[in-house]
Amino acid sequence: MIIVQILLPLTQLFPLEYLAPEELQLIIGDLVIVPFRNKMCTGVVWSTSNIRNNNTITPKIVQQKVPGDFTLNSRTMNFINKASSYYLSSLGSMAKLILPIDISVSPIKTRHQHIPSHFNLPNLSTNQHEILTKLRMVNKPTLIHGVTGSGKTEIYFHLVAEYLQAGAQALIMLPEIALSNHIIQRFINRFGFEPVIWNSSITKAQKKMSLRGILDGRVRMVIGARSSLFLPYTNLGLIIVDEEHDSSYKQEEGILYNARDMAVLRGSLENAKVVLVSATPSIETIYNVQIDKYHNIPLENRYSGATISPVEIIDLRKERLPYNNWLSHSLSTAIQENLLKKEQTLLFLNRRGYAPLMLCSSCGYRFTCGSCSAWLVVHKNSKRLECHHCGYICKIHLACPECFTEDHLIACGPGIERIAEEVQRLFANYRITIVSKDEITNANKMQALLHKMENNEIDILIGTQMITKGYHFPNLTLVGIIDADLGLMGGDLRAAERTFQLLHQVGGRAGREHKPGKVLLQTYYPDHIVFSTLKDNAEEQFIEYELNNRRDANLPPFTRMASIILTGKNEHKIFDYAKQLVAIAPKSNVKILGPAKAMLTKLSGKYRYRILIITAKKFNLQQYLKTWLALVKFPSSCQIRVDIDPQNFM
């Protein structure tokens, strides 16, 4: 027998030594079954040698290869290693992303895909065909920067077709499950077969079958969320990252990876084409285009001659909204005119529920979550208060729990339920529908909603950001943005960028065919750069402004950033540990900020402190953090997480 190292896909684990019978003829990457903690697990051969075991301690023995004789290729093994080093995660944790389901557990079935010889793809316009030709010729990551409704999806569908016909595997990544259902149906109509779907709604049995099919090459088309990037492809030729700017590509639990950035890494290791797609690209992607790391292909016109909908700003300082009203006179009038034309309206507010806060007008008591430093959100339709961070739920009180006064509890501020209440009062004879995660709880409900919109069975749609991307409603001609200022609150360095992207996407739902559209934007800050550039359709001006701000403030993408988050139940101890950690930081040319309370200081019963590290682009940030964190060992009551390239500062 010889000694081999086996990497098990388990959190915080490193390769372990096993004995392997020589007749197994193991090579690096082979999937094998080994004993581990009184059970059998699937692992991957991380290294082999011709050294025979002479130790007094005898390692456990590799039992067999996984039925089907599967092997991770060298490119996937390299990806595990590099991604693990970048995010300072254990190899086992990264392998868990590659092999999230044990494929050797019975019943053993493999997913097959039959790829038709002919696809039902519509002809591209001259402009779209030119872009497809450019895509074929470029050898670096490429951005398709196309306005909403310009036909970006049809272009990359044609590219997918070429790779499938060449026998390669292709991946389309999408930021949200709700959006993927729309694209999936469109894909099936165009290609005549079902892609493998990979997201949190898929069962373990389905995932196991799909994993085996991906490993043996019988599955060649995957559409999925961020985790689909890490699957064990054997011949990955094309990666599409749709809505590349979307913040949900950043994983906020476990390994804090950014799937968009890892797509670029994996593409380089696989020699696969990487295409980033967005109407509002991230500042990081724009910067990479400017330094010639990525190639940019602009798509400036809407498909079939549809025009960009003009944006009109409603200055709420002048409108003087009546008490408990949230729709201005200008917006209400525009809705009425649109209804008379028998055209559809979308009202957008990125806030679920009825109101973000309930308080007592007698003593000032505010209903807050006991486990998080957050207010409880009022959900009037379901008659409950809810924490949107930890999920805590309770009934709406009839009396104040502090002063016991009845009839003095007030809901403050609007959520979409409250907007719907006002719209119902103003336009009682029309068909009004709410769309948010509270109402649309599964794919079937979303499909039913889309069907109603497309068949003009809804007059006014009131929704959160889940309805803003990728949907095409031919008769939707008016978009009203209720509280455009909402996203600018807080200290997030990307607040302006994200608000611009979100509102641009929302406005892009209007006037997508030959009927002209209009976007009305309510704000108390009409002169803000976000709103003025949206009004003037001056995206380049906003990007230049944002890049100059980041450059002047020495922030990404001109620098690198990492965050260290310390978490525990005892706030004073966590703060002390954070101060100790800062005190022993190795001397170097880095900027260390903090420790400071996280914006959401308490989350699920634990207190959180942050340390922010900013360095030059070429500085070896990972090595510095490894050296620093090795200097201290805190008790298990203090959890430490490192977030490379943080996107969320909550």
Residues 150-156: what's their mean pLDDT? 90
Residue 518 to residue 31: CA distance in whole angstroms: 57
Confidence at 52, pLDDT banded by 50, 70, 90: low
- Quote the CA–CA distance of 242 and 577 in Å, as a whole number: 41
Q: Residue 96 contacts by C-beta under 8 Å, 6 or more apart in sequence?
A: 9, 10, 11
Q: With 80 as the cut, is the pLDDT of residue 318 above it?
A: yes
The pLDDT of 17-26, averaged and rounded, is 92
How does 338-359 read in b/e, with b if 16+ C-beta sit within 10 Å? bbeeebbbbbbbbbbbbbbbbb
Q: Does 363 carry a binding-site annotation?
A: yes
Q: What is the pLDDT of residues 122-132, one digit of tens each?
A: 999 988 999 99
Query: Residue 302 pLDDT more than 90?
Result: no
Question: Are the C-beta atoms of 373 and 602 separated by less than 8 Å?
Answer: yes
Which residue is associated with the tokens 């200022």? 485
Q: pLDDT class for 442, splitting at 50, 70, 90?
A: confident
pLDDT recorded at residue 508: 86
Q: What is the pLDDT of residues 456-505, one digit of tens each?
A: 999 999 999 888 766 778 899 999 999 999 988 766 889 999 999 999 99
Q: And the tokens for 115?
A: 């790829």
Q: What is the mean pLDDT of residues 73-77?
A: 97
pLDDT at 591 over 90: yes
The answer, yes or no, to whether residue 55 has pLDDT greater than 70, is: no
- Give the percent of the chain with pLDDT over 90: 81
State the pLDDT at residue 177: 66
pLDDT at residue 441 above 80?
no
pLDDT exceeds cutoff 70 at 306: no
- Is 390 one of the annotated binding-site residues? yes
DSSP code, position 525? -
As a whole number, mean pLDDT of residues 384-390 equals 95
Least confident segment among 242-256, 413-427, 482-496, 591-605: 482-496
The mean pLDDT value for 581-603 works out to: 95
Residue 149 clears pLDDT 90, i.e. is over it = no
403 is annotated as contributing to ligand binding: yes
Per-residue pLDDT, 512: 72
| Interhelix angle 177-191/152-165, nearest 10 degrees | 60
The number of beta carbons lying within 10 Å of the beta carbon of residue 606 is 18
- Is residue 638 part of an annotated ligand binding site? no
Could you give the CA distance from residue 589 to residue 21 in angstroms, rounded to a whole number? 51
**Does the structure show a pLDDT above 90 at 24?**
yes
Segment 227-235 mean pLDDT:
97
User: Is residue 56's pLDDT more than 60?
Assistant: no
User: Per-residue pLDDT averaged across 569-593, rounded?
Assistant: 96
- Alpha-helical (H) ranges within 246-352 are 259-270, 283-290, 316-319, 329-340
Residue 305 has pLDDT above 60, yes or no: no
Q: What does the pLDDT read at residue 44?
A: 97
More confident residue, 447 or 491: 447
Tens digit of each residue's pLDDT (9 = 90 or more) over 336-369 = 999 999 999 999 999 999 999 999 999 999 999 9
Predicted local confidence at residue 323, as pLDDT: 86
Q: Is the pLDDT of residue 226 over 90?
A: yes
412 annotated ligand-binding residue:
no
**Cis peptide leading into residue 595 (ω within 30°):** yes
Q: Determine what percent of the chain is predicted with pLDDT higher than 70.
A: 97
Whether residue 204 is predicted with pLDDT greater than 80 in this model: the reply is yes
For 35-59, b where at least 16 C-beta lie within 10 A, e where not — what string? ebeeeebbbbbbebeeeeeeeeeeb
Enumerate residues 6+ apart whose C-beta is below 8 A from 448. Answer: none
pLDDT digits 0-9 by tens, 607-642: 999 999 999 999 999 999 999 999 999 999 999 999
Domains delineated in the chain: 2-98 (3.40.1440.60), 126-303 (3.40.50.300), 306-351+415-548 (3.40.50.300), 354-413 (no CATH), 560-644 (3.30.70.600)
Q: What is the pLDDT of residue 330?
A: 96
The candidate with the shortest Cα–Cα distance to 502, out of 277, 279, 313, 302, is 279
pTM summary value? 0.94
Task: Find out whether 590 and 615 touch, Cβ atoms under 8 Å.
Answer: yes
Q: What is the mean pLDDT of the chain?
A: 93
Contacts with 489 (C-beta within 8 Å, 6 or more apart), sequence order:
495
